[in-house]
Amino acid sequence: MATERAIFAGGCFWCMVQPFEEQAGIQAVTSGYIGGEISDPTYEQVKRGTSGHYEAVEILYDPTLYKYTQLLDLFWPQIDPTD
């Protein structure tokens, strides 16, 4: 089975997990933080914007079953790109 990885940041990661988990061809969805200036930030630091991190999801998927463009089609309606 082929595996590719995509990382998407877009506000609240809790909102982004479920829609991806429900798709055939998606092997795993892991929420966490990306970027930032400090090691091991707390949720409160990230939420307040004091750590420089963004909430994100890492998606492991099989590109023969689920295309990257399909990931984008699922991602964009979930976020506010001006946030």
Question: 13-56, pLDDT tens digit by residue?
Answer: 777 888 899 899 999 999 999 999 889 999 899 988 889 998 89
Query: What separation in angstroms does the CA of 56 have from each of 1, 2, 65?
Result: 25, 23, 23
Q: Is 15 a catalytic residue?
A: no
CA–CA distances in Å: residue 33 to residues 47, 51, 77: 11, 10, 21
* Separation CA 35–CA 23 (nearest Å): 27
Which pLDDT belongs to residue 30? 94
Least confident range from 3-7, 20-24, 75-79: namely: 75-79
Confidence of residue 1 (pLDDT cuts 50, 70, 90): confident
CA distances from residue 42 to 12, 31, 45, 68 in whole angstroms, order as listed: 14, 14, 5, 30
Whole-model pTM? 0.84
**Within 13 Å of residue 45, how many CA atoms lie on the same side as its CB?**
13
Look at residue 83 and tell me whether its pLDDT is greater than 70.
no
Q: Which one from 3, 5, 7, 12 is the annotated catalytic residue? A: 12
